[in-house]
């Protein structure tokens, strides 16, 4: 399903345990009122797993947050996932329990829950395609740089963009091949004038 909303129009905030008051206030909103809309999705057969997602949307009344700046959020989105992964040793699917994820959005709660589900999926494609690569492959979170860390963050982004622009799909292997041959890096499109 394609969403008619642009990613840039969806201002959202993922609620995590590092904001316990806001997180608990939104969980209470979800427990105390019925959802304005509901959507269900199921993906089967991808990466040997079955994933079911239930998306619920609530309209947020003014002053429902814990701080004044929370008032610009208009809807609360809850995503409940249940995943079953195939375990070859047990010759069957094993259930994995996951806590529900909450998102705050500036979009109206009149937006269908199915579109919110699509927007959340798009958000995770960015997370997996960019942030995970920067953290896992380029060790961004493990960096001990304390002076001007933004400069090195820009260099990591530049390297990632250069690799992707030149057709590298596996960034880890691309970094390994380029570490063995400086000439390969210098022959990339966009590094020097040909």
- Can you tell me the mean pLDDT for 64-70? 74
Neighbour tally for 90: CB within 10 Å:
8
Residue 1's pLDDT band, with cuts at 50, 70 and 90, is very low
User: Which residue carries 């909303």 as its tokens?
Assistant: 5
pLDDT at position 135 over 80: yes
Pairing status of strand 12-15 against strand 101-105: antiparallel
d(CA 100, CA 15): 10
The model scores a pTM over 0.75? no
pLDDT at position 54 over 90: yes
Is residue 103 a contact partner of residue 10, using CB atoms and an 8 Å limit?
no
């Amino acid at each position: 399903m394609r969403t008619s909303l642009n990613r840039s129009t969806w201002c959202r905030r993922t609620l995590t345990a590092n904001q316990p008051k806001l997180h608990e206030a939104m969980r209470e909103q979800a427990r105390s009122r019925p959802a304005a809309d509901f959507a269900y999705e199921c993906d089967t057969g991808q990466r040997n797993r079955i994933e079911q997602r239930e998306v619920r949307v609530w309209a947020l009344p003014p002053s429902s947050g814990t701080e004044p700046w929370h008032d610009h959020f208009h809807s609360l989105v809850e995503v409940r996932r249940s995943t079953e992964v195939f375990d070859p040793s047990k010759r069957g699917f094993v259930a994995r329990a996951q806590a529900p994820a909450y998102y705050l959005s500036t979009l109206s709660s009149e937006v269908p829950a199915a579109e919110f589900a699509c927007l959340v999926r798009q958000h995770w494609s960015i997370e997996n395609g960019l942030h995970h690569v920067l953290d896992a492959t380029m060790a961004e979170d493990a960096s001990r740089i304390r002076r001007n860390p933004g400069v090195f963050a820009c260099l990591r982004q530049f390297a990632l963009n250069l690799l992707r622009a030149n057709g590298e799909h596996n960034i880890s292997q691309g970094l390994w091949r380029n570490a063995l041959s400086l000439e390969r890096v210098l022959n990339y499109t966009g590094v020097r004038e040909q």
